[in-house]
Structures are given as structure tokens and as C-alpha cells.
């Protein structure tokens, strides 16, 4: 599909509805509008960005969702392919992340090997290099098939299986792969397992092939968008305005009406929108519901519990990204599988003021703390039970911060806010962050972007191909636009 095509009168231009204003929907809308479609984007909330949100209070700025950005070239391409300069600047994270272990050991991991290995004993350094090489091998084999381009069909899957099947260790779990690589020491095991949580897995149940995620961060690097992750949402919003996309906020999609097997109308709480095609960039199960279909019950991916704390003091021990590992990594996923918040969760801390001084008042700190959490139960949940469960989770996070020496005196707290599965359920069904759990080899394969028997509809976003996380959701939106292009006469 060629970008920025000239079209005749408005009447000749196909009308496409993009449902959901998360990064996937924004990328799809941009690409379709630049190709000449008349695009209307419908978003339920009063702001764009979906899970990528922002909170400003008392001089503090927080990203409320994603904060680790990998593959920044995907962001640049999203703008470049419609003829725009990327409005967001990136700074590489150095270290990529700081790891704090229960015995007090602190390990700074860089993209560069020398400073990374300096923190390791000789045998650990060898194991690190072996595991890194394996992650690279898996990533370079998988990315062209499973990340870039359209969802793979049977021929692509067969070709991948023939060429890389054995190396991808089918049937092996991620922990088994790490054992085979000798990368399962108390330091390396939690370190390498945790990357599978980036796609919402219990790492112990993740297939070996998900070890490739480690390469995206360790080999290709982590970047901070200057102005925060929300600067990307603002940049996309401005680009949509340039291409004349109509954005309807605070409008909820209720169902999709089909004629002759094709989606022809979007029914919202504010009226009906006729269209030639639809990109549905919301949780896949929600889209199935709009079509009167019943989703296949699958275990949900992880949810999260987030504390945003504006502090009047700074903790110099924290890097931009810091992970605090628990005593026994892995046990938290037993609690999560049982629907409970863990007592001793891994904590991810993100403090952007070290890199972006405008993000907190002088001497203050904008601390984002995140723990893995269970998605909401399928049924039988009520607001009281939900609140009681999340309260337990909040208490566990505070107790863990205190136990590990990362708490603060009451007098230092200027402002705070919690977000948990109930809040995230506005975006993803049951508050799951990445659709169905990517457990087992087939579970890791994300659903495609089409629904059988439905024309004029492409799915996009973190619950379908190629998967969750900001760069993959952007790719998904771009791909959905591409899939519809020929159908609506833009190809
Ligand atoms: C706390 C947290 C931390 C994360 N950390 C990272 C990270 O560090 N790095 C990373 O890459 N990713 C991270 N992620 C994941 C990342 O945010 C998502 O994968 C990505 O933003 C998904 O984008 P999306 O467009 O697919 O979906 P969403 O952002 O969920 O967008 C869907 C949109 O659809 C709208 N919508 C839903 N239903 C309706 C309806 N009926 N009518 C109209 N609109 C509707 C929603 O309001 C929403 O705006 C994190 C997510 C969270 C929540």
C-alpha cells in the first residue's frame, strides 16, 4: 500500500472505522488515512493511548503503563512510512536494568558485554554468553516469521519448523532450556526467566522459544522516549490530525453489524457508523463478543498491580529501570495461578526523573512500582471481593518494599495512586495485559488478524499477531491496515 496516495472526492474514498485508540489502533488509523481512506477512530476513554497512559499530579509525571521500550526502529518506521519525521527522540538506557537480589547482590546489565560481565564470576559469565547467543539465534530465526510481516500461514510455519525447529527446542520449557545452557544459577535463572513475563507468561510454563525475548532487550537495547512513553501517543495523535482522522472519544463500541459476510456497521452507544471496513484494535475476546461469538476459554496472561508514588526525596540506588527479585523466584506464579496476589512478588521499579528532570519537582522522585498480578476471575467476582483481593496485593507490595529497604518515610510521600487488574480490565478482558497466556508452544503462537468467515475486518493489538508490548502492537496495527488495503481498494 503506497503512503499518502491522492484520492478524488471524499465520496470515492473508502470509509474505515478503527476501534480502540491504543497504540495499535493509532498506528492502523495513521497508515490507513495516509493511504487515502476516510478514517474514524472510536475510543471509549476520554483520552487516547489505551494501556499507554500518563498521570500528572503535584509536579510529578508518570507513565501509567509501558515504560520499557525495545525495537525503537519500529516507532521510527511507523512515522517514516507515512512520510513523517519521528516526533519522539530516544535515549539508550545504560544500564539496561539494575537487578537487586535477595542476598543484597546488585548487578547492572548493559547492552555492552564488558561492564555486564564485570559483575559476574567466570563461570556465570560463560553461562551468560551461552544463553545470550541462544537468545539471539532464537530471535533471528523467529522474528522474520512471527514478528515482522503478516501472520504466518501453514507454509511459513512448516518452513520455520524445517529450518529452525530443532534449535527452537520444541517440547522443552524455558526453565529446561536454561538448565541445558547451564544458565540456571541463583543469579541467572530469575534473570533469564523474567523475560517471558514481558509477554504475560508464567515463565515456568513458557516454551523454550520465548527465550528469544531476552535478545530484544539485551542485544538490541532499551530506550527511553524523551518526554516519556506518552510522548509517543501524543506524536501519533498529532500525526492523525495531520491526515484528517476523525477521533471520537468517550464512545463505546457495542457490536458489529454484518451484511453478506462483511462488516458494514459499527454500533456504538452514540449511534451507528456505516463503513467499508473495520480495524478492531481491542482485546480479541471483546471483538468476538461484538460479533455474537463466544471466545474459547483460555488461561489469561498476567495482569499487574502498579503503585505510582510521588516522593519528596530521591533514592540514588535506583536506576531508570530496577528489578528487585524475591527470595524464591517463581513462587509468585503459584499464587497468581490460584487467583491471588503474591506475598513476595518480584518488583519492577521505574524512575524516569534521573533521565528526564522535568518528571518530578527538584529533589523529588516519580517512582513507578509494578508487581505481577492475577487477572480477574472469569465469573463470580464482585466489587467487594475484587477490592479485598487488590488490597491484599497492595499490602504485599508495600511490605516487600519495606523488607527490601526500598520504602520511604510517610513524610516523603507527596502523592500516590494504585492501578490494578480492575483498572486494566477497561482495556483488556479481565485485566489481563497480553490476551491468553503464552504457555506451551502453541499457546505462544498469537492468534491471526482475521476471523474466519468475516470480511472487511482485521484485528490488531497486543492480543493478536505479532503479540503484546508497544513495538509489536504498533506492528500489528500497521499490518491490519495492510491486510484491509486491497479489500477496500487502497492497494
Ligand atoms: C502496567 C503495564 C505495564 C506495561 N509495560 C510494558 C513495557 O514496559 N513495555 C511494553 O512494550 N509494553 C508494556 N505493556 C504492554 C503494552 O502497554 C501493551 O501491549 C500495548 O500498549 C497494547 O496496545 P493495544 O493498542 O494493543 O491495546 P490497548 O492499549 O489496550 O488499547 C485498546 C483500546 O481500546 C479501547 N476500547 C476497549 N473497548 C472498547 C470499546 N468497547 N469501545 C471503544 N474503545 C474500546 C480501550 O479504551 C483502549 O484505549 C504494559 C502494560 C501495562 C498495563
Q: What is the pLDDT of residues 152-208, one digit of tens each?
A: 999 998 999 888 888 877 889 999 999 999 999 999 999 999 999 999 999 999 999
The pLDDT tens digits for 381-435 are: 788 888 999 999 999 999 999 999 999 999 999 999 999 999 999 998 899 999 8
CA distance 111 to 171: 30
pLDDT of residue 1: 46
User: What would the mean pLDDT of 140-153 be, rounded to a whole number?
Assistant: 92
Give the residue, by CA position, lying nearest to ligand 1 atom 1. 65
Q: Where residue 11 falls among pLDDT bands split at 50, 70, 90?
A: low
CA distance 456 to 241: 24
In the chain, what percentage of residues exceed pLDDT 70?
A: 97
For residue 297, the 8-state DSSP code is: P
Q: Contact 335/392 with Cβ under 8 angstroms?
A: no
Which helix (H) or strand (E) covers residue 218, if one does? helix 213-218
Cβ of residue 68 lying under 6 Å from some atom of ligand 1: yes
Mean pLDDT for all residues in the chain: 94
pLDDT of residue 166: 80
In the chain, what percentage of residues exceed pLDDT 90?
A: 86
pLDDT of residue 8: 39
Q: Where residue 2 falls among pLDDT bands split at 50, 70, 90?
A: very low
Q: Do the strands 271-274 and 321-324 form a parallel or antiparallel pair, or are they unpaired?
A: unpaired
Cβ of residue 326 lying under 6 Å from some atom of ligand 1: no
Q: How far is the CA of 462 from the centre of ligand 1 (A)?
A: 7
Which helix (H) or strand (E) covers residue 303, if one does? strand 303-311
Q: How far is the CA of 22 from the centre of ligand 1 (A)?
A: 5
How far is CA 197 from its chain centroid?
Answer: 10
pLDDT at 309 over 80: yes
Other beta carbons less than 10 A from residue 104's beta carbon: 8
Mutation test of ligand 1: which of 29, 51, 250 has the most ligand atoms closer than 8 Å to its C-beta? 51
CATH number belonging to the domain at 10-90+227-297+438-485, selected among 3.30.70.1280, 3.40.630.10, 3.50.50.60, 1.10.760.10: 3.50.50.60
Cβ of residue 235 lying under 6 Å from some atom of ligand 1: no
What share of residues in the chain are helix, strand, coil (percent, to 5)? 35, 20, 40
Question: Among candidates 393, 459, 396, 400, which has minimal Cα distance to 422?
Answer: 393
> Buried b / exposed e across 57-80, counting CB within 10 Å, b at 16+?
eeebbbbbbbbbbbbbebbebbbe
Q: Contact 175/184 with Cβ under 8 angstroms?
A: yes
The pLDDT tens digits for 63-100 are: 999 999 999 999 999 999 999 999 999 999 999 999 99
Q: Tell me the sheet residues that pair with 69.
A: 223
The pLDDT tens digits for 242-282 are: 999 999 999 999 999 999 999 999 999 999 999 999 999 99
pLDDT at 452 over 60: yes
The pLDDT tens digits for 334-383 are: 999 999 999 999 999 999 998 899 999 999 999 999 999 999 988 767 88
Q: Contact 178/191 with Cβ under 8 angstroms?
A: no
User: What would the mean pLDDT of 446-453 be, rounded to a whole number?
Assistant: 94
pLDDT of residue 462: 95
Give the residue, by CA position, lying nearest to ligand 1 atom 31. 22
CA distance 260 to 437: 34
User: Strand, coil or helix: what is 475?
Assistant: helix
pLDDT of residue 5: 42
CA distance 72 to 91: 10
CA distance 370 to 305: 6
Cβ of residue 433 lying under 6 Å from some atom of ligand 1: yes
Question: Among candidates 112, 84, 341, 321, which has minimal Cα distance to 198?
Answer: 321
User: What would the mean pLDDT of 27-40 be, rounded to a whole number?
Assistant: 97
pLDDT of residue 202: 96
User: What would the mean pLDDT of 291-320 be, rounded to a whole number?
Assistant: 95
Q: What are the residue ranges spanned by the domains of the chain?
A: 10-90+227-297+438-485, 112-218, 302-431
Q: How far is the CA of 349 from the centre of ligand 1 (A)?
A: 20
Atom of ligand 1 nearest to the CA of 268: 42
pLDDT at 133 over 70: yes
Q: How far is the CA of 21 from the centre of ligand 1 (A)?
A: 9
Cβ of residue 195 lying under 6 Å from some atom of ligand 1: no
Mutation test of ligand 1: which of 17, 18, 19, 20 has the most ligand atoms closer than 8 Å to its C-beta? 20
Amino acid at each position: 500500500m503506497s503512503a499518502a496516495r491522492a484520492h478524488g472526492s471524499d465520496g470515492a474514498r473508502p470509509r474505515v472505522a478503527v476501534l480502540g485508540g491504543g497504540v495499535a489502533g493509532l498506528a492502523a488509523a495513521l497508515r490507513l488515512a495516509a493511504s487515502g481512506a476516510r478514517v474514524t477512530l472510536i475510543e471509549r476513554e476520554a483520552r487516547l493511548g489505551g494501556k499507554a497512559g500518563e498521570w500528572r499530579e503535584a509536579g510529578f509525571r508518570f507513565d501509567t503503563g509501558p515504560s520499557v521500550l525495545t525495537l525503537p526502529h519500529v516507532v521510527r518506521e511507523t512515522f517514516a512510512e507515512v512520510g513523517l519525521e519521528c516526533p519522539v527522540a530516544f535515549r539508550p538506557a545504560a544500564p539496561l536494568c539494575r537487578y537487586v537480589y535477595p542476598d543484597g547482590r546488585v548487578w547492572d546489565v548493559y547492552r555492552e558485554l564488558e561492564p555486564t560481565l564485570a559483575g559476574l564470576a567466570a563461570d556465570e559469565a560463560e553461562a551468560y554468553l551461552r544463553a545470550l547467543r541462544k537468545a539471539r539465534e532464537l530471535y533471528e530465526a523467529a522474528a522474520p516469521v512471527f514478528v515482522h510481516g503478516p501472520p504466518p500461514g501453514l507454509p511459513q510455519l512448516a518452513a520455520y519448523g524445517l529450518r529452525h525447529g530443532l534449535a527452537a527446542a520444541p517440547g522443552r520449557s524455558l526453565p529446561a532450556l536454561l538448565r541445558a545452557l547451564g544458565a540456571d544459577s541463583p543469579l541467572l535463572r530469575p534473570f533469564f526467566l523474567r523475560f517471558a513475563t514481558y509477554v504475560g507468561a508464567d515463565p515456568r510454563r513458557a516454551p523454550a522459544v520465548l527465550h528469544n525475548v531476552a535478545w530484544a532487550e539485551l542485544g538490541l537495547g532499551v530506550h527511553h522516549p524523551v518526554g516519556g512513553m506518552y510522548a509517543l501517543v501524543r506524536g501519533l495523535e498529532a500525526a492523525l490530525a495531520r491526515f484528517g482522522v476523525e477521533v471520537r472519544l468517550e464512545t463505546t463500541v457495542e457490536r458489529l453489524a454484518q451484511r453478506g459476510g462483511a462488516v458494514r456497521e459499527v454500533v456504538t452507544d452514540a449511534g451507528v457508523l456505516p463503513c467499508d471496513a473495520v480495524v478492531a484494535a481491542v482485546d480479541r475476546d471483546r471483538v468476538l463478543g461484538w460479533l455474537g461469538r463466544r471466545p474459547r476459554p483460555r488461561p489469561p496472561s498476567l495482569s499487574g498491580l502498579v503503585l505510582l508514588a510521588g516522593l519528596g526525596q530521591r533514592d540514588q540506588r535506583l536506576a531508570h529501570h530496577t528489578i528487585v527479585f524475591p527470595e524464591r523466584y517463581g513462587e509468585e506464579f503459584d499464587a497468581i495461578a490460584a487467583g491471588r496476589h503474591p506475598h513476595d512478588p518480584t518488583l519492577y521499579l521505574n524512575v524516569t526523573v534521573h533521565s528526564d528532570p522535568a518528571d518530578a519537582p527538584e529533589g523529588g522522585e516519580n517512582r513507578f512500582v509494578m508487581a505481577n498480578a492475577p487477572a480477574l476471575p472469569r465469573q463470580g467476582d464482585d466489587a467487594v471481593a475484587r477490592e479485598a483481593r487488590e488490597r491484599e496485593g497492595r499490602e504485599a507490595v508495600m511490605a516487600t518494599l519495606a523488607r527490601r529497604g526500598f520504602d520511604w518515610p510517610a513524610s516523603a510521600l507527596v502523592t500516590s495512586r494504585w492501578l490494578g487488574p480492575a483498572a486494566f480490565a477497561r482495556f483488556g478482558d479481565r485485566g489481563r495485559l497480553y490476551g491468553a497466556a503464552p504457555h506451551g508452544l502453541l499457546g505462544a503462537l498469537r492468534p491471526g488478524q482475521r476471523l474466519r468467515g468475516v470480511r472487511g475486518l482485521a484485528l490488531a493489538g497486543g492480543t493478536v499477531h505479532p503479540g503484546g508490548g508497544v513495538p509489536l502492537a504498533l506492528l500489528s496495527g500497521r499490518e491490519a491496515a495492510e491486510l484491509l488495503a486491497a479489500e477496500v481498494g487502497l492497494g
